[in-house]
Amino acid sequence: MNESTGKESTGNEHTADSVTVDEIDADIQVDATGLFCPEPVMLLHNRFRDMQAGDTLLMTATDPSTTRDVPKFCLFLGHELLARDEQGGTYRYLLRKH
């Protein structure tokens, strides 16, 4: 159980507990608000294609399925999910390309 979120850990999260979404100025920002699965992850694929290793990206989304899809995107493609948060139905994800 993650004490900060009160949610069960799936073991698939690639997050650094000491980093928050607001602590790092992302190199790229992606606004996926109003988009639904699979569009937010498609945007990630398109943007990551043009990024350099080590670049960071902040994605903002409103689709709750991103809470599952973004960590899986990182897990399967070897990128790092540095931090994530949710406030008022808006989800933010800070990722680093590897």
In a domain, 32, yes or no: yes
pLDDT in tens, 20-63: 999 999 999 999 999 999 999 999 999 999 999 999 999 999 99
* Kind and range of the H or E run holding 39: helix 39-49
- pLDDT at residue 17, as a whole number: 56
In a domain, 16, yes or no: no
In a domain, 79, yes or no: yes
In a domain, 73, yes or no: yes
> Which residue range is the domain that position 35 belongs to?
28-96
Indicate which CATH number applies to the domain containing 58. Answer: 3.30.110.40
User: How far from 8 is each of 12, 15, 24, 39, 71, CA to CA, in Å?
Assistant: 11, 14, 26, 26, 14
C-alpha–C-alpha distance, residues 71 and 59, integer Å: 12
In a domain, 2, yes or no: no
Just list the catalytic residues.
37
| Domain count along the chain | 1
Give a three-class secondary structure readout of 46-92. HHHHCCCCCCEEEEEECCCCHHHHHHHHHHHHCCEEEEEEEECCEEE
- pLDDT at residue 48, as a whole number: 98
